[in-house]
Amino acid sequence: MRKLLIGFALVALAAPVTAAAGGWATAGLAPPENIAAGDTWNAKVTILQHGETPLEGVVPTVTIRSGSTVKSFTAKPTSEPGVYRAKVVFPSEGKWSYEVKDGFNQYGGGQTHKFAAVSIAGGGGSGVPFFAIILAGSLAVVVMAGLYLLARRLRVRAPSPAPLH
């Protein structure tokens, strides 16, 4: 009987600890790659309850900061459980920090997960440089025409055949 009472006491002591540990989540987010100011970063946010179970039904937000500029973007659920997508636009070049509010508001509120700052290049990072393409094409045509004329001028003519006797 004494062992049974000790067992119940241990279970009773453990119950408040497990109840208090019930409300946390992790947020995974890869840093933006090859993103310039004004480009859209399709940020893929993964929210896992207790770091393991994909968490559905939350509304995570991605927040970016540079100096006094702060912008927040709401992530929308994808077809994959626990994965959300936010369309983030960095308005200017420079060093930007970013963070995710996981949206897991049960058991005392969601948490903010901070990530290392990134450097964003100047605008127009993914645009096609039409002027450079036209200039390079024109230059190629001029060089080809010059080579053709030079080859024509330097063409070696075959000697005329000797008369037959």
What is the residue extent of each domain of the chain? 22-150
The arrangement of strands across the sheet holding 94-101 comes to: 69-74, 61-66, 94-101, 112-120
Residues 84-134: pLDDT tens digits? 999 999 999 999 999 999 999 887 778 999 999 999 998 754 455 666 677
pLDDT at 32: 92
State the pLDDT at residue 133.
76
CA distance 70 to 123: 18
- pTM value is 0.62
pLDDT (tens digit, 9 = 90+) per residue, 13-49?
A: 444 443 445 578 999 999 999 999 999 999 999 999 9
Report the DSSP beta bridge partners of residue 99: 63, 114
Q: How confident is the model at residue 8 (pLDDT cuts 50, 70, 90)?
A: very low
**Burial call 132-153: b when 16+ CB within 10 Å, e when fewer:** eeeeeeeeeeeeeeeeeeeeee
Q: How many CB atoms lie within 10 A of CB 38?
A: 17
Q: What is the CATH number of domain 22-150?
A: 2.60.40.10
